Structure 1
Amino acid sequence: MSAHYEPRTALGRMVNEIEESGIAIILGLMVTITFINVVLRYGFNTGLIWGLEMTSFLFAWLVLFGVSYAVKVTAHLGVDAILNVVSPTARRALSVFAAVICLIYAAMLMKGAWDYWANFANLPQTTGRWFPTGLEEMGRTSYRGWYEVVDIPFPEWLRWIEPIMNDGEHYEKLPRFIPYFILPFGMALLLFRFCQAFWRIWVGDAESLIVSHEAEDAIDDVAAMNKGD
Structure 2
Amino acid sequence: MFSRLLDHLEEWLIATFMGLATIITFIAVALRYTTGAGIPWAQELTIYLFIWMAKFGAAYGVRTGIHVGVDVLVRKLSPSRQRFFTFLGLSLGAFFTAVVALLGVKFVLFMRSTGQTSPDLDWPMWIIYLGVPLGSSLMSFRFIQVLVQFRRTNQLPMHHYGTEHPE
TM range (shorter): 0.7 to 0.9
Residue aligning to 2:9: 18
Residue aligning to 2:74: 83
Is residue 45 of structure 2 the alignment partner of residue 54 of structure 1? yes
Residue aligning to 1:186: 135
Gaps of 5+ in 1: 1-9, 122-142, 153-172, 215-229
The alignment partner of 2:126 has SS state of coil
- Give the structure-2-normalised TM-score: 0.87
- Deviation of 1:106 after TM superposition, in Å, equals 1.3
Residue aligning to 2:116: 147
- Give the structure-1-normalised TM-score: 0.65
Gaps of 5+ in 2: 162-167
- Decide whether aligned partners of structure 1 residues 86 and 212 sit closer, same or farther in structure 2, where only a CA change above 3 A counts: farther
CA RMSD of aligned residues (A): 1.9
Deviations 1:131-160 (A, max 9, x none): xxxxxxxxxxxx32x2111001xxxxxxxx
- Deviation of 1:205 after TM superposition, in Å, equals 4.7
**For 1:105, which of 76, 96, 112 is the aligned residue?**
96
* Partner Cα separation in structure 1 for residue 136 and residue 98 of structure 2: 8
Is residue 153 of structure 2 the alignment partner of residue 204 of structure 1? yes
The alignment partner of 1:148 has SS state of coil
Deviations 1:146-190 (A, max 9, x none): 2111001xxxxxxxxxxxxxxxxxxxx211122211111001111
The alignment partner of 2:93 has SS state of helix
Deviations 1:46-105 (A, max 9, x none): 011111101111111111111111111111222223333333222212211111111221
> Of the two, which has the highest radius of gyration?
1
Which residue identity does 1:48 align to in structure 2?
A: I
Count residues with an aligned counterpart. Answer: 161
Deviations 1:199-219 (A, max 9, x none): 01111251x57x4699xxxxx
* Partner Cα separation in structure 1 for residue 128 and residue 50 of structure 2: 11
* Partner Cα separation in structure 1 for residue 64 and residue 159 of structure 2: 9
Residue aligning to 2:33: 42
